[in-house]
Amino acid sequence: MPEGVKTIVKNRKARHEYFIEEIFEAGIALTGTEVKSLRQGRANLQDSYAVIKDGEVFLHGMHISPYDQGNRFNHDPMRTRKLLLNRYEINKLVGLTQKKGFTLVPLSLYFKKGLVKVELAVCRGKKLYDKRQDIARRDAAREIEKRMKDSGR
């Protein structure tokens, strides 16, 4: 990652479950206690997805744990959060997601110059045989690497 970028959380399962077609960087509208909780690294992107509604993009299913010292100002951990994209990017996302089988999935959450950003991907779901091919390819590469290392000795 570039300098000045601190990763908060990654959605590791997304790269296994989906073919990633295109990636966008979006800002996210948060409350003060949510940002403080994110600075402690207390977030979960698993099972989260984005939806385009009335020309705006919203993130559903992302869990940000309540801030310990937040008292009455704390937030709802599973609330829907608005993603901040410009009109051109939203129109492009609308065009891409209207194709059959495409969805918007957050890949990671990170700080960039003090602001929280979301890496949003336009994805197409993988079938079971695609996942098996990926696993077989990874195992083969690992085996080749091991043999190369052993032959060098």
Q: Which residue segments constitute the domains of the chain, with CATH numbers given?
A: 5-125 (2.40.280.10)
User: In degrees rounded to 5, what are phi and psi of residue 149?
Assistant: -65, -45
Q: Which residue has the tokens 């100002």?
A: 73
pLDDT tens digits for 91-126? Answer: 888 888 887 778 899 999 999 988 999 999 998 887
pLDDT tens digits for 65-87? Answer: 888 887 777 778 888 999 999 99
Look at residue 60 in the predicted model and tell me its pLDDT. 93
The Cα–Cα gap between 14 and 29 comes to 23
Q: How confident is the model at residue 19 (pLDDT cuts 50, 70, 90)?
A: confident
Residue 21 structure tokens: 């077609």
Residue 56 structure tokens: 């705006």
Look at residue 46 in the predicted model and tell me its pLDDT. 87
